[in-house]
């Protein structure tokens, strides 16, 4: 394995420039060697800022895959193309990080898992909320059994009015859905990871388009165009796991509510409970008295968290690169991300058919 990993970026838009490129560029064991975008000017701009004069710039991602010096591909494109690019990259001998959600469909997600197994290449999905200090600390508590058996949980991804009006977020064909597949995926990933439970049994879903046709709507990112808004504005799922546990998933870009939380979870266990509402809170019972505490998440006491100067995206990039160089498993396993995609698809299917989806 080389001292420096040579990484190629496919898709040089918002998520690449806002997350991947700034974080990767901070790592001494990374060289940003390739930049691809269907609008080649965007790839050229990214290469100028983060690459060097030898960087490969192209509008065709297969040119990056043909370059045998490139070790890793980051897929930062619309959801509909995640699977094809990731599978092609692994078959070309590259390790792959794909942005979330894993894929537009569960079938494609399973195809990506199979490619990773077949090729032996490292593959992970960009669920960067796992690397927040509150997420990591709560996961430690769950893993060591402090909450006991977690049998009821809520996955929160609620915005009051924050519909993304840029890119292709409102395009059902390219994205596969709206807030459920965009931000609900983060909340569900966090919740299942905390529970260490990836065996769904039954899913019932409700999907709504109640506010999307509003003209000149109040919105954090400016009014949306109803003609371009082809996805849901909110979606909800009730998931029963094979061990009897239940998970309630709520997601919205536009909902008339004041209870707003995104990429958070609430957990109820046999020994204690926890939630991320307004900070990490733990609750329980001891000596016949109820107790609750808000966890101080300063710089100390959280594994791999060395202070606020390192963002969750920075930690994600560092640990992903280390997993490749040290030949260890990535934090987000492809099999875990696949189950998230299968559940999201089941919510859409249940809403469309009016029936529960059995696994």
- List Cα–Cα distances, 99 to 14, 75, 266, 322, in angstroms: 12, 6, 25, 18
- In this predicted structure, what is the pLDDT of residue 111? 98
Domain 130-305+339-358: CATH class, spelled out: alpha beta
For domain 5-128+313-330, give the CATH number.
3.40.50.720
- The span from the CA of 262 to the CA of 85, in Å, is 29
Q: Are 180 and 344 in contact (CB under 8 A)?
A: yes
What is the bridge-based pairing of β-strands 246-252 and 261-269?
unpaired
SS3 letters across 130-157: HHCHHHHHHHHHHHCCCCCCEEEEEEEE
Cis-peptide into 166, omega within 30 deg: no
Extract the tokens encoding 192.
């299942």
- In this predicted structure, what is the pLDDT of residue 293? 96
- In this predicted structure, what is the pLDDT of residue 297? 86
What b/e readout covers 173-182, taking b as 16+ CB neighbours within 10 angstroms?
Answer: ebbbbbbbbb
- In this predicted structure, what is the pLDDT of residue 301? 45
Domain boundaries, the chain: 5-128+313-330, 130-305+339-358
- In this predicted structure, what is the pLDDT of residue 309? 72
- In this predicted structure, what is the pLDDT of residue 310? 87
pLDDT in tens, the chain (359 residues): 677 999 999 999 999 999 999 999 999 999 999 999 999 999 999 999 999 999 999 999 999 999 999 999 999 999 999 999 999 999 999 999 999 999 999 999 999 999 999 999 999 999 999 999 999 999 999 999 999 999 999 999 999 999 999 999 999 999 999 999 999 999 999 999 999 999 999 999 999 999 999 999 999 999 999 999 999 999 999 999 999 999 999 999 999 999 999 999 999 999 999 999 999 999 999 999 999 999 998 755 445 545 557 899 999 999 999 999 999 999 999 999 999 999 999 999 999 999 999 99
Using N-to-C axis directions, what is the helix angle for 106-119 and 82-91, rounded to 10°?
10
- pTM (2 decimals)? 0.95
Q: Are 263 and 190 in contact (CB under 8 A)?
A: yes
Neighbours of 297 (CB within 10 A): 17
């Amino acid at each position: 394995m080389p001292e420096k990993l040579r990484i190629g970026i496919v898709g040089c838009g918002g998520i690449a420039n806002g997350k991947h490129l700034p974080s990767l560029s901070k790592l001494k064991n990374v060289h940003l060697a390739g930049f691809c975008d269907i609008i080649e000017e965007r790839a050229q701009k990214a290469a100028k800022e983060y690459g060097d004069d030898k960087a490969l710039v192209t509008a065709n991602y297969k040119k990056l895959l043909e370059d045998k010096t490139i070790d890793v591909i980051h897929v930062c494109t619309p959801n509909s193309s995640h699977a094809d690019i990731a599978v092609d990259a692994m078959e070309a001998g590259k390790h792959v990080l794909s942005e979330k959600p894993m894929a537009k469909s569960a079938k494609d997600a399973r195809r990506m898992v199979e490619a990773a197994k077949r090729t032996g290449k490292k593959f992970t999905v960009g669920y960067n909320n796992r690397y927040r200090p509150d997420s990591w600390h709560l996961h430690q508590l769950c893993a060591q059994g402090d909450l006991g058996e977690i049998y009821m949980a809520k996955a929160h991804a609620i915005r009051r009015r924050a519909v993304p009006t840029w890119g292709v977020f409102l395009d059902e064909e390219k994205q596969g859905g709206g807030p459920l597949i965009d931000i609900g995926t983060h909340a569900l990933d966090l919740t299942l990871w905390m529970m260490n439970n990836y065996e769904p049994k039954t899913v019932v879903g409700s999907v709504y388009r109640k506010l999307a046709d509003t003209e000149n709507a109040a919105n954090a990112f400016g009014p949306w165009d109803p003609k371009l808004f082809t996805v849901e504005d909110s979606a909800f799922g009730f998931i029963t796991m094979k061990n009897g546990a239940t998970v309630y998933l709520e997601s919205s870009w536009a909902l008339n509510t004041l209870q707003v939380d995104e990429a958070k979870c609430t957990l109820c266990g046999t020994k204690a409970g926890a939630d991320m509402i307004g900070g990490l809170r733990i609750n329980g019972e001891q000596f016949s008295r109820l107790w609750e505490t808000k966890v101080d998440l300063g710089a100390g006491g959280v594994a791999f968290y060395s202070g606020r100067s390192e963002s969750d995206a920075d930690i994600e990039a560092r640990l992903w690169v280390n997993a490749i160089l040290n030949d260890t498993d990535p934090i987000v396993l492809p099999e875990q991300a696949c189950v998230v995609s299968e559940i999201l698809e089941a919510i859409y299917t249940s809403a469309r058919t009016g029936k529960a989806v059995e696994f």
